[in-house]
Chain A
């Protein structure tokens, strides 16, 4: 007796669906509950980011980078300004570097909280999601205090920052870190070490390291597969060489290396490391100095091109910029980490059940704003 194969059913997951993390459409061929083929369709959020950049001055591009990966706008700002500064050979002051690192790491925590919360919701746990959003709120309050915005900051400028740190920011940040550190454990006990959650995620959607590398998957998804690759250490930029932090990699504690549980675990550990980095940066933070003293009056990078990548919460965020010496770039290309993560979905999720596909998609933590640009 063989396995009986019925007719396949074509199922459209999205564009309107609770678990597609934006406006993604997955065309899924199913045999009963088993998914045999997945085709992602993207482009529902396309806003011509790269074409817009060709018609804007360099500093006008910064708000557009906010809107790419809207969950971690600080990191997008960071990646773009670091690239342009290297093209123009600007070296920003110590104070600016420190503030940038603090903001980027706080945003990484906020982004991971959202990723973990929505992942939990994808497997049916609603309460951890709200706990994580409650904590994320505090980070957004810090950002609001600094630059007035809660989601799209436009905070980092080429050569500086839009605002200096407000009075009381350092104390409030310490307060938040002290509050938040025990909360990580609380959330982990509630969701990560829950038996049902382990059943749902361990050994599910295994992304082997060689597949991850061949698809160009980066960030926590790659580290979840056990590959130690973090641009903050491997392609050092800004002042990350001064901080002491570990790069957590998936070890297959609950199942196979590279399963959904490992990707979840890596993110929780990264939040702890980010807390450490913020603490160190706050300690070393110089108080004197103007954050805008090096902002050029006219931004006209010399002729040439540059490709530079930074570690966003989702992986290698690369900017390729071609300049012809005029105030507007000839070409800006964004290398999106979420795009490569999505491309690996069909490789790892085919053959699993519909519920698992949703869980795997959640574990990859994609942001459609960045994929479609």
Chain B
């Protein structure tokens, strides 16, 4: 969308011929800037939210810097900005025995994954970098690239804890991708399209008289599919109770034990960006994307953006709620849940959605 509009706009006043590769490159770079800003702002806001939410859940007040200046600001509002500045200024340490090249590349690979995935996430009717006809598939596919980065980080650090974290993470992310993908399959069976905007426009209108026509409420099987998707999604972004790759009480800090400063910040940025993406896909695929919860009410592009961000924010809040409530699973229990519970359930679910489509709908 944004890319197409930019292309047209450039073509309208420049001498470039339509579809020039150079023009395309320029447009893509320009379109990448807001994604980068979005990731940075998302991390700042989400970290602040995490600090405050955890504080309220734990009977604390959280960051409460007072006054202006390089303090943390009123109610600690500038805490995450100060943290970001600190990370920028920190000494960059690379262990002597680390594999330097891989050690340096790994954070970039992990950072690039959510960066390119965000290009296909629609924020409202128009705010979308590119409406790919394989949108959902694309997001899930690029999501798995981060495993490579994590393994590189764990291996190159030359640290046993990092290696353990990387191995656990590889097993976990690869396993949980399957239930994620299978639960999305049941959505695609209903909508008949892989395009994100296509999935959202399928969810227009009402169902059962009053409920919005979200896929969540479409049939009992898609209702279950949402929970399979969300649980597996939490596992895929390494959040508690599935945070075994970076379990601080066991593995010190998992695969990023040896990273510090800005390199570490890349891991952090991408963790929160991944949360945004998983919540975003859940909102698009099951909760009607940017549609208003009351069909036909406040559906202008501005309000659509608001609805989408609220849905994503709600899901991110639930992830944080998990984190500050649950203990952590053990690595074999994690695998059991994936392969023995979620995967068979997701398969049955696909079958159920198919039967429902044939006989009931």
Contacts and interface: CB of A to CB of B under 8 A. Distances in A.
Interface string B238-273: 001101100111111000000000000000000000
Nearest to A120: B327
Given A134-B59, A353-B331, A124 B241 contact: yes
A181 to B, nearest CB: 18
B326 A194 contact: yes
Contacts of B54: 126-127
B327 A125 contact: yes
A354 B58 CA distance: 28
Interface in A298-357: 353-356
B327 A200 contact: yes
Contacts of B332: 33, 353
A29 to B, nearest CB: 12
A19 B250 contact: yes
A190 B328 contact: no
**Chain A interface main SS type:** helix
B277 to A, nearest CB: 24
B316 to A, nearest CB: 18
Nearest to A34: B332
Given A123-B249, A124-B247, A196 B326 contact: yes
A196 B329 contact: yes
A356 B333 CA distance: 12
B90 interface: no
B74 interface: no
Interface in B312-359: 324-333
Interface string A101-127: 000000000000000000011111111
Contacts of A17: 252
Interface in B196-250: 240-241, 243-244, 247-250
B240 A124 contact: yes
B interface, size bucket: 20 to 34
Contacts of A190: 325
A130 interface: yes
A43 interface: no
A197 B327 contact: yes
A199 B252 contact: no
A200 B330 contact: yes
Contact of B250 (A120, A127, A358): A358
Contacts of B101: none
A126 B332 CA distance: 22
B59 A18 contact: no
A127 B322 CA distance: 11
B338 to A, nearest CB: 15
B58 A127 contact: yes
Given A121-B249, A122-B249, A190-B325, A127 B333 contact: no
A131 interface: yes
B264 to A, nearest CB: 17
Contacts of B58: 126-127, 130-131
A149 interface: no
A352 B65 CA distance: 45
Contacts of B327: 120, 123-125, 191, 194, 196-197, 200
Contact of A355 (B250, B252, B325): B250
A190 B59 CA distance: 14
B343 to A, nearest CB: 19
Contacts of B325: 125, 127, 190
A213 interface: no
Contacts of A196: 241, 326-329
Given A127-B325, A200-B327, A355 B247 contact: yes
Nearest to A134: B59
A239 interface: no
A120 B247 CA distance: 13
A8 to B, nearest CB: 12
A11 interface: yes
Contacts of B71: none
Nearest to A196: B327
B85 to A, nearest CB: 26
Given A127-B57, A131-B58, A131-B59, A355 B244 contact: yes
B164 interface: yes
Contacts of A199: 329-330, 333
A356 B247 CA distance: 13
Nearest to B247: A124
Interface string B136-167: 00000000000000000000000010001000
A9 interface: yes
Interface string A169-206: 00000000000000000000011001011011000000
A356 B248 contact: no
Contacts of B251: 354
A18 B248 contact: yes
A251 B263 CA distance: 50
Contacts of A130: 58-60
Interface of A: 9, 11, 17-19, 33, 120-127, 130-131, 134, 190-191, 194, 196-197, 199-200, 353-356, 358
11 contacts: A33-B164, A122-B249, A124-B241, A124-B328, A127-B57, A130-B59, A131-B58, A190-B325, A196-B329, A354-B251, A355-B328
Given A121-B249, A134-B59, A194-B327, 18 more contacts: A11-B160, A18-B248, A33-B331, A120-B327, A123-B328, A124-B240, A124-B327, A127-B54, A127-B57, A130-B58, A131-B59, A197-B327, A199-B330, A200-B333, A353-B331, A353-B332, A354-B250, A355-B330
Interface of B: 54, 57-60, 160, 164, 240-241, 243-244, 247-252, 324-333
Minimum-distance CB pairs A-B, first 3: A124-B328, A125-B327, A130-B58
